[in-house]
Amino acid sequence: MKPRTIDIVVTHMILLLLSAVVLYPVLWVLKLALTPGGQLGADPSPIPVPSHFDLSNFRAFLFARDFNGNPLFLYQLGNSLLVSGVATLIGVLFALSAAFAFSRFAFTGREAGLKLMLVSQMFPAVVTAVPLIVILDGLGLFGTTAGLVLIYATASVPFCIWMLKGFFDTIPRDLEESARLDGAGSFVIFWKIMLPLVRPGIAVTALFSFMTAWNEFIMASIFLDDVTRYTLPVTLQQAVGGYDPDWGLFAAGSLLLSIPVVLVFFVVQRHMVQGLTAGAVKG
Amino acid sequence: MTTAPWEGQKAQGVLSARTGWIVLAAVLLVVVLFRPVAQMLEPTPEGVKVILWHSQRGEERDTLEALLRQFNADPRNVGRVYVEPLGVPDAAFKDKLMRNIPRGSGPDLFVRPHNELGELYAEHVVGEVPRDELPFDAGQYVGKLLDGFSIEGRLYGYPLTYKGLFLFWNKRLLPGGPPRDIEDLKRLAGHLPAGSFPIVYDATSLYFHSPFLIGAGGTVFGRDGRSFALFDDPGVGSFRWPGEWKRDGVLPPEPNYNEMVRLFQAGQAAAIICGPWYTPSGPVDEAHEWDVAPLPNVMGRPTGSFITVEGVYLSARSKHPREAMQVAAFLAGPVGEAARLQKLSLPPVSVSAYARMDANPPSDEAGRRRNDIVRVQRAALEHGQVTPNSERMASVWTPAMDLLQASLAGRSFEKALDDARYTLARVDEVRPTNVDWRPYGAVLVVLLMLGTWQLVVRVRRGSAAGEAARARLTGFDTKSALPYLLPGLLAVAVLVFIPLVVGAGMSLYEHEHGSFTFVGFDNFRKILLPPISRLLQARSFYFALGVTVLWTVTNVVLHVAIGVVAALLLRPSWNRLRTPYRILLILPWAIPNYITALMWKGMFNAQVGAINVLLAPFGFTGFNWFDRFHTAFTANLVTNTWLGFPFMMVVTLGALQSIPSEVEEAAVLDGASRWQRFRHVILPYIRPALLPSVILGSVWTFNMFNVIYLVSGGEPGSQTDILISEAYRWAFERGQRFGYAAAYSVLIFLFLLLYSRFTSRLQRAEP
């Protein structure tokens, strides 16, 4: 179908406009990050091209030290990795066999269980926060890294069960049929056949769960009191909370934190949409 | 069989991929373990550790830390006591204190303004300070500073410095010198060039209104220190003045903080009322046209303002009160005082410091200016009032603001005054009476028994059915499912089920001052059945529900519209630039959404935000987006739409691929117009795929806490808060009202449950 000129022009115009709207804030943040002191002065220009090229904001973010001279960025990076990593591990490990059961077994309460997983995803973390904090407080885990890991695992397990079940569902049944005819029990099927085949699904689920924990800031900011135990999002948000926000520091930090996240996202997103929508349709 | 050359290469390739992963894992492990190991290996300094919390930033923080390092390095302290500060964000400070100190954790000392003493005292988190521990004699303190830290004669803090309001005035517009009396300013009205005003200040804030309240002889509390006298004679008359002044042209039409700064810096305000945190810049500074002066007389007498005293508090549960008091005395003593004056221009607290100041006038311009600012604040202190520290003070800000707003808007003053008095009268509500839990307990037991019986019946019925019998034969039935389900179920039971049940249970309790009281359904009654007059105001459940529904609908409509249009435009194969466009347009989805929210908050910033700069030709310079509901809502909406349309776009793109090309070609051959093709061919195909995504998206939007909390922060006055951010605030910002917040959460949960029922019926209806 040969396109008319008007079609080409209108299409590109709209797409260019959308692209500009998408790019503008990102470039503006880049400009802020490269401006020393984070102040754009009394006459900020609307063009998002950096007029200075000063790396002091990046330096301030990466080499921040606390009162005792500890390297804050390194500490907090480690905290984020630790907390997100362990929460993801818990989520995936506990979810694997349950997802297999939901996918392949017929048992009472299967439908209800799936609905429970879905509904618990709708229930946002902030709302379960209050009882969780009271419980953790009773256990003496308030303010500790272990407590935060438990909070993140709360959201992780149901999500992992749901996503992994979707991936298990995509594996054709004939493989098990033939294995069963050969006399294999359910465990052998699970361990030797299903798991290896669903490996990419596990990777995607783990990555998505890791990302959710990595980007979480609200629970962390309520929960943590010690600056050496902060995770990265808390530091970033604190840079611009309060009465004199440091926009330059924030801009530098967001760029540094976003780039790896964005890269990973681009790799993973195709599978994610598949998993989300396929699961929703099949139910 | 010899290995082919490429097989050897493949083996090598696998090896380097593996080494790559191992190296990455090793690096990550090192980073993760860095902090714990470093902290373990750190030698703990000898002596008692005193923890000090503060919320200072920038130069104030640097000065504080320098003083504390000086303390730590002092030979008298080395090996015996050392202090470690921690910066805590201002907004969360009080809540963190309340959470930690009653449990015996938290700081030994904390730096806060004095007006929070009443609340802190009620929560039992502050410890008494004997007067002889003060670094100066009681009589040596300027004005009534110690009163700020006293309750019923007992002292609870060490004053560090104080802040008061004063005038910044324009030398060009007032050639005769600073205004001595408010009448001087009123006379100026109409004699200034167009667009200029005699006085500008934040006229809706009780804090900035305080000079006039005090000048009229008003007080917040009566003689007993408890009953409200704010809206009684003689102070109440002062609330009419802003409205009169605005009508007479003494005040500008929009007297708010940003306008005040903007007009003064542009040289269009003869005088503004502001505090020491502000330094004029822009044209008025470049032309050296400004100076400071004490507040003008009101009703013929000098007046002051509400004074805020910053001080060091002692924790009620400090394990080392002696050492903590040592640190506090140092910080609040002559060394600290001198450092704060020199480096931060903060007013000293001792009379002798002022005598020294007067005896040694500084030679440089900056020093003279600094001393002037200190002197005008002392004047504000001498003739003003230390802001009352009673916890009942927290209730007066909002009704006072409402009354001032009514005065400015020209609404009926009498009615607004009635409303204000009504609000204050409600402060002394009856405390929750202890409700008997036994009937609730009985009902719960009955429900549990019914539920278990139902469960057993269903399991029995399930295991007898055909499919279940078949499943047993193949070994994929309920019994064999159990070991697989167990770990997952256990995790869900512990991590999800228990908190939900505890949360539901908490909604039947009221949490105040650290303890839970059983109140039955009282929380639900308060949420669902508020007094009729409050029904449609911000912070009411129904208002938040309405805002949340509006928020969800507008967002979903915009996301789907933009997403579908973008997907349709990205479809035609003649478009060579498809892939780059697609990758670019997914970017907003990839960026972590809290970063996006903060980014857009910066873009909507009144002073330096990109939006106002772009819209400057339309008069948007200095426009405060978060002053009004519809502009704050728009800011949130723009942010969330930027965030959300890529998801819909990607889903639509996927769905569009499933349309068989023959159907479309047939439509073209039949001569269908583009719109007809869309409606009858494309739409039916993408609807089944779009529907689950729209439902998912609507739930995400309904619960989009980050954008609301970070961009508008619920401003103005909680009007843009959605249900979930309201629940958060009740739990963490309005005094730890956990029971109330839990009830809110239960209602949100029920609402979403109903919504999911409704949408699954919708989904089943789809062919």
Find which of A221-235, B33-47, B231-245, B508-522 is predicted with most confidence, using mean pLDDT: B231-245
Confidence class for position B239, pLDDT limits 50, 70, 90: very high
DSSP string for residues in B636-679: HHHHHHHHHHHHHHHHHHHHHTTS-HHHHHHHHHTT--HHHHII
- Inter-residue contact B256 to B246 (CB < 8 Å): no
CA distance B766 to chain A (A): 11
Interface test with A, best of B454, B564, B571, B587 (most A CBs within 10 A): B587
Q: For residue B346, is pLDDT > 80?
A: yes
In angstroms, what CA-CA distances link B596 with A236, B398, B753? Answer: 12, 31, 29
The Cα angle at residue B352 between residues B347 and B356, in degrees rounded to 5: 80
Q: Which residues contact B537 (CB under 8 A, 6 or more apart)?
A: B543
Q: For residue B250, is pLDDT > 70?
A: yes
Q: Which chain A residues contact residue B481 at CB under 8 A?
A: 101, 105, 107
DSSP string for residues in B600-637: HHHHT-TTT-HHHHHTGGGT-TT--TTSSHHHHHHHHH
- Inter-residue contact A255 to A33 (CB < 8 Å): yes
- Inter-residue contact B589 to A14 (CB < 8 Å): no
Task: State the burial class of residue B76 (Cβ atoms within 10 Å of its Cβ: 0-12, 13-18, 19+).
Answer: exposed
Backbone φ/ψ region at B736: left (φ over 0), alpha (ψ -120 to 50), beta = left
Residue A282: predicted pLDDT: 40
DSSP string for residues in A97-160: HHHHHHHH---TTHHHHHHHHHHHHHS-HHHHHHHHHHHHHHHT-TTSHHHHHHHHHHHHHHHH
Distance of CA B571 to the CA centre of its chain: 43
Q: Which residues contact B12 (CB under 8 A, 6 or more apart)?
A: none
Q: For residue A174, is pLDDT > 50?
A: yes
**Are residues A108 and B499, on separate chains, in Cβ contact within 8 Å?**
no
User: Per DSSP, which regions of A16-112 are E strands?
Assistant: none
- Inter-residue contact B28 to A81 (CB < 8 Å): yes
Name the pairing type of β-strands B48-54 and B109-113.
parallel
Confidence class for position A126, pLDDT limits 50, 70, 90: low
Find the CB nearest B481 among A8, A26, A101.
Answer: A101
Length in residues, chain B: 767
Mean pLDDT of A226-238: 84
Confidence class for position A46, pLDDT limits 50, 70, 90: low
- DSSP 8-state code for residue B150: E
Asked if the C-beta of B103 comes within 8 angstroms of chain A's C-beta atoms, the answer is: yes
**Are residues A78 and B31, on separate chains, in Cβ contact within 8 Å?**
yes
Asked which of A124-128, B606-610, B763-767 is least confident by mean pLDDT, the reply is B763-767
Neighbouring C-beta atoms of residue B7, cutoff 10 Å: 11
Asked if the C-beta of B73 comes within 8 angstroms of chain A's C-beta atoms, the answer is: no
Cross-strand bridge partners of residue A71: A65
Confidence class for position A243, pLDDT limits 50, 70, 90: low
Confidence class for position B321, pLDDT limits 50, 70, 90: very high
The b/e string for A12-30 (b: 16+ C-beta within 10 A; e otherwise) is eeebeebbebbebbbebbb
Question: B197: part of which helix (H) or strand (E)?
Answer: strand B197-200
Instruction: Tokens for A101, please give them.
Output: 């059961």
- DSSP 8-state code for residue A51: S
The Cα angle at residue B621 between residues B720 and B705, in degrees rounded to 5: 20
| Sign of the CA dihedral running A243, A248, A251, A252 | negative
Asked if the C-beta of B38 comes within 8 angstroms of chain A's C-beta atoms, the answer is: yes
Residue A277: predicted pLDDT: 54
A253: nearest CA partner in chain B: B595
CA distance A103 to chain B (A): 11
**Are residues A24 and B467, on separate chains, in Cβ contact within 8 Å?**
no
Give the span between the Cα atoms of A6 and B327, in whole angstroms.
Answer: 76
Cross-strand bridge partners of residue B50: B83
Task: State the burial class of residue B250 (Cβ atoms within 10 Å of its Cβ: 0-12, 13-18, 19+).
Answer: buried
Task: State the burial class of residue A246 (Cβ atoms within 10 Å of its Cβ: 0-12, 13-18, 19+).
Answer: buried
Instruction: Tokens for B138, please give them.
Output: 């009681």
- Inter-residue contact B292 to B345 (CB < 8 Å): no
Mean pLDDT of A230-256: 82
Q: Which chain B residues contact residue A18 at CB under 8 A?
A: 562, 566, 585
Give the span between the Cα atoms of B339 and B353, in whole angstroms.
Answer: 12
Asked which of B124-138, B498-512, B557-571 is least confident by mean pLDDT, the reply is B498-512
One-letter amino acid at B713 equals G
Give the span between the Cα atoms of B469 and B481, in whole angstroms.
Answer: 14
One-letter amino acid at B482 equals L
Higher pLDDT, A22 or A200: A22
Instruction: Tokens for B505, please give them.
Output: 């249970």
For A138-147, the pLDDT digits (tens) are 788 777 888 8
Q: Which residues contact B417 (CB under 8 A, 6 or more apart)?
A: B231, B236, B239, B403
Asked which of A86-100, B125-139, B518-532 is least confident by mean pLDDT, the reply is B518-532
Q: Helices in B345-437 by DSSP H: which ranges?
A: 351-359, 365-383, 397-409, 413-425
Q: For residue A283, is pLDDT > 70?
A: no
Q: Which chain A residues contact residue B523 at CB under 8 A?
A: none
DSSP string for residues in B302-358: ----EEEEEEEEEBTT-S-HHHHHHHHHHHHSHHHHHHHHHHH-PPPSBHHHHHHHH
Neighbouring C-beta atoms of residue B50, cutoff 10 Å: 27
Cross-strand bridge partners of residue B166: B274
Residue B126: predicted pLDDT: 94
For A59-107, the pLDDT digits (tens) are 888 888 878 777 888 888 888 989 999 999 988 988 888 888 888 887 7
Give the span between the Cα atoms of A88 and B503, in whole angstroms.
Answer: 24
B residues 710-749 near A, CB within 8 Å?
710, 724, 727-728, 731-732, 738, 741-742, 745, 748-749
**Are residues A122 and B699, on separate chains, in Cβ contact within 8 Å?**
yes
Q: Taking CB atoms and an 8 Å cut-off, how many pairs form between chains A and B? A: 334
Give the span between the Cα atoms of B412 and B398, in whole angstroms.
Answer: 18
Q: Which chain A residues contact residue B605 at CB under 8 A?
A: 247
Length in residues, chain A: 283
Residue B77: predicted pLDDT: 87
Neighbouring C-beta atoms of residue A255, cutoff 10 Å: 19
Q: Which chain A residues contact residue B58 at CB under 8 A?
A: 244
Give the span between the Cα atoms of A259 and B617, in whole angstroms.
Answer: 34
Distance of CA B374 to the CA centre of its chain: 31
For chain A, the farthest-separated pair of C-alpha atoms sits apart, in whole angstroms, at 79
Name the pairing type of β-strands B269-274 and B109-113.
unpaired
Could you confirm whether domain A75-281 is CATH 3.30.390.10? no
Mean pLDDT over the full length of chain B: 85
For B726-747, the pLDDT digits (tens) are 888 887 777 677 888 888 888 8
CA distance B56 to chain A (A): 9
Single pTM value for the model:
0.77
Measured between its terminal Cα atoms, the distance across chain B in Å is: 58
For B176-208, the pLDDT digits (tens) are 889 999 998 888 888 888 888 999 999 989 999
Give the span between the Cα atoms of B368 and B357, in whole angstroms.
Answer: 10
Residue A42: predicted pLDDT: 43
Residue A280: predicted pLDDT: 45
Question: What residues does each domain of chain A span?
Answer: 75-281
Q: Which residues contact B416 (CB under 8 A, 6 or more apart)?
A: B402, B403, B406, B407
Mean pLDDT of A221-241: 82
- DSSP 8-state code for residue A190: I
Give the span between the Cα atoms of A165 and B422, in whole angstroms.
Answer: 57
Give the span between the Cα atoms of B169 and B296, in whole angstroms.
Answer: 11
Residue B467: predicted pLDDT: 61
- Inter-residue contact B141 to B337 (CB < 8 Å): no
At A161, is the secondary structure helix, strand, or coil? helix
Find which of A60-64, B164-168, B579-583, B695-699 is predicted with most confidence, using mean pLDDT: B164-168
Give the span between the Cα atoms of B183 and B300, in whole angstroms.
Answer: 9
Question: B167: part of which helix (H) or strand (E)?
Answer: strand B166-170
Residue B1: predicted pLDDT: 47
Asked which of A15-29, B80-94, B527-541, B608-622 is least confident by mean pLDDT, the reply is B527-541
Q: What percent of chain B has pLDDT over 90?
A: 28
Q: Which chain A residues contact residue B699 at CB under 8 A?
A: 122
Mean pLDDT of A249-268: 84
Give the span between the Cα atoms of B523 and B505, in whole angstroms.
Answer: 12
Give the span between the Cα atoms of B68 and B74, in whole angstroms.
Answer: 10
B residues 350-379 near A, CB within 8 Å?
none
Neighbouring C-beta atoms of residue A188, cutoff 10 Å: 14
Give the span between the Cα atoms of A35 and A43, in whole angstroms.
Answer: 14
Distance of CA B738 to the CA centre of its chain: 18
Name the pairing type of β-strands B109-113 and B150-151.
unpaired
Mean pLDDT over the full length of chain A: 80
Confidence class for position A265, pLDDT limits 50, 70, 90: confident
At B54, is the secondary structure helix, strand, or coil? strand
**Are residues A269 and B96, on separate chains, in Cβ contact within 8 Å?**
no
CA distance B344 to chain A (A): 15
